[in-house]
């Protein structure tokens, strides 16, 4: 039997005999509220193809289940009976995002409304998988206690791992995560944490974070570049993550041949270069916080990676034609801007008209996008 996180959802969250948490119309409504928190009930009809009566009923049922909360009406909203405002009720459920990177495991606790309830990280050092998971469990319990959470509201876990998909819930991760590689993570983790676990690639959960909290609120088609120790990314098409035929869509590093691969924009190379030049940069997160474009070697490195970078940008544009390309992962905003300034689109106009080009946007997600995205995955899969 194929592992399925959906089948493990606790019964008190489930609505119908088919095991669904919400119906399609309910999902559409919850999505709308996600994108417009505090929208009034009466405004819903204008955005969704449902009558006022149906909206009333669905809202009524979702309120009764504690999934959405009614708020005071907006004042001064014209005449007529005032309509209550709607929000997702964070108290109904919370989820945990776990992001396994080469150096660190990030943890993000989030409620149904998208509020971050707590964050933590565990340095991997030489920890075995079992030891690391034990530490995650302890950290999770601490976060839960500090936030005063009721365990019954613990909906599930989103697990992100650096590396490519091999099949099922098996991934092939870089060396420090050797022990985490090529095994069925879904059954293992859901057994260990006693909750359904959704497993994804780390760059893809970063992409999901961007789609739920960042530019995805306004843009339906975009590519997300995840600059980390390595370099990957993800694609959002029509608001949904594109997984591809083998679950590895957005692994942009595959564009480069062996030679060019050394000049790809992975932050490991920049850190090496900086350390060679006498700039003490102990970690990627340190670099992100303290980045200075005048550090010796920065401009040089950027110039070196620019050809490979531009090839990648043009490949993404040609293949999937996104409306935007988002610079994310752990890239310092200033470094992203340097790349954007050097972007060249290979395009010749016809009749003076260019092919529409993507906008280049620097992600505004400050925390661990990968863990944050992992935390929404359970909700996105079941609620909205």
User: How is residue 374 written in tokens?
Assistant: 């992992």
Considering only 8, 32, 50, 255, the residue that binds DNA (CB under 7 A) is: 50
Partner touching 81 among a copy of itself, DNA, none, CB below 5 to 8 Å by kind: DNA
Is 288 in contact with 327 (CB distance < 8 Å)? no
Nearer to a copy of itself, 92 or 165 (CB): 165
Contact 161, 204 (CB under 8 A): no
| CA pair distance 131, 113, nearest whole angstrom | 32
Q: Which of 163, 162, 144 is nearest to 154 (CA)?
A: 144
Question: d(Cα 6, Cα 8) in Å, to the nearest integer?
Answer: 5
Per the CB < 8 A criterion, the answer to whether 264 and 256 are in contact is yes
Quick one: what does residue 256 bind among DNA, a copy of itself, none, with the CB cut-off 5 to 8 Å set by partner type? a copy of itself
Partner whose binding site includes residue 53, from DNA, a copy of itself, none (CB under 5 to 8 Å by kind): DNA
Q: Mask: binding to DNA, 10-39, rule CB under 7 A, as x and -?
A: ------x------xxx--------------
| Cβ contact 116:110 at 8 Å | yes
C-alpha angle with apex 156: 155 to 158, nearest 5 degrees?
140
- Among 47, 84, 164, 170, interactor with DNA by CB under 7 A: 84
The piece of 55-63, 136-144, 214-222, 329-337 that touches DNA (CB under 7 A) is 55-63
CB atoms within 10 A of CB 312: 23
353 contact choice in DNA, a copy of itself, none (CB below 5 to 8 Å, kind-dependent): a copy of itself
Q: Out of 75, 278, 282, 349, point to the residue binding DNA (CB under 7 A).
A: 75
The answer to whether residue 54 forms part of the interface with DNA (CB under 7 A) is yes
Please count the residues of this chain forming the interface with DNA, following the rule CB under 7 A: 29
What residue ranges bind DNA (CB under 7 A)? 16, 23-25, 40-43, 49-58, 60, 73, 75-76, 78-84
């Amino acid at each position: 039997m194929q592992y399925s996180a959906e089948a493990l959802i606790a019964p008190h969250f489930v609505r119908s005999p088919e095991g669904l948490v919400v119906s399609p119309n309910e999902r559409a409504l919850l999505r709308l509220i996600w994108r417009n928190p505090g929208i009034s009930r009466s405004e819903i009809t204008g955005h969704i193809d449902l009558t006022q009566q149906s909206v009333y009923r669905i809202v009524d049922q979702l309120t009764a289940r504690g999934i959405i909360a009614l708020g005071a009406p907006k004042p001064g909203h014209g005449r007529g009976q005032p309509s209550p405002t709607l929000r997702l009720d964070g108290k109904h459920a919370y989820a945990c995002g776990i992001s396994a990177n080469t150096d660190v495991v990030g943890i993000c606790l989030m409620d149904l409304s998208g509020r971050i309830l707590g964050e933590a990280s565990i340095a991997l050092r030489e920890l075995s998988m079992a030891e690391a998971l034990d530490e995650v469990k302890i950290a999770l319990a601490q976060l839960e206690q500090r936030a005063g959470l009721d365990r019954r509201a613990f909906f599930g876990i989103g697990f992100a791992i650096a590396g490519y998909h091999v099949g099922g819930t098996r991934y092939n991760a870089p060396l420090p995560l050797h022990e985490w590689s090529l095994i069925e993570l879904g059954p293992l983790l859901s057994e260990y944490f006693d909750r359904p676990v959704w497993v994804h690639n780390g760059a893809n959960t970063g992409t999901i974070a961007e789609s739920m909290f960042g530019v995805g609120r306004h843009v339906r088609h975009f590519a997300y570049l995840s600059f980390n120790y390595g370099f990957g990314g993800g694609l959002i098409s029509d608001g949904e993550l594109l997984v591809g035929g083998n679950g590895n869509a957005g692994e942009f590093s595959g564009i480069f041949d062996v030679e060019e691969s050394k000049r790809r924009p992975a932050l490991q190379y920049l850190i090496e270069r900086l350390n060679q030049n006498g700039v003490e940069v102990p970690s990627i997160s340190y670099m992100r916080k303290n980045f200075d474009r005048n550090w010796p070697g920065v401009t040089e490195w950027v110039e070196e990676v620019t050809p490979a970078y531009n090839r990648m940008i043009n490949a993404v544009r040609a293949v999937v034609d996104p409306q935007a390309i988002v610079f994310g992962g752990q890239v310092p905003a200033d470094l992203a801007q340097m790349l954007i300034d050097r972007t060249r689109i290979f395009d010749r106009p016809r009749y003076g008209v260019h092919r529409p080009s993507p906008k280049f946007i620097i992600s505004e997600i400050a925390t661990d996008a990968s863990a944050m995205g992992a935390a929404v995955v359970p909700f996105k899969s079941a609620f909205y």
